[in-house]
Amino acid sequence: MTEATGWAAMLRTAVSLGVSPEGFWRLSLKEWRMLTARGPEVTPMGRGEVEALMRAWPD
């Protein structure tokens, strides 16, 4: 059975951010959104950045 809400993924995200399971269940929706929101300064790496890392650490 597939869960519609994705609680398991949300709980894993919370734990990876240092929030205990008990703390996760106490969060309001507004707190959850603030905790998991990506700011405008957070962007994925571009191809050039990845290639530069590959050159710097060629393992």
Number of domains composing the chain: 1
Q: Is residue 36 part of a domain?
A: yes
> 15 lies in a domain?
yes
Percent of the chain with pLDDT over 70: 93
Average pLDDT (14-22) is 92
Domain that holds residue 42: 7-56
Evaluate if residue 42 carries a pLDDT over 70.
no
Q: Are the C-beta atoms of 17 and 9 separated by less than 8 Å?
A: no
Is 2 a member of any domain? no
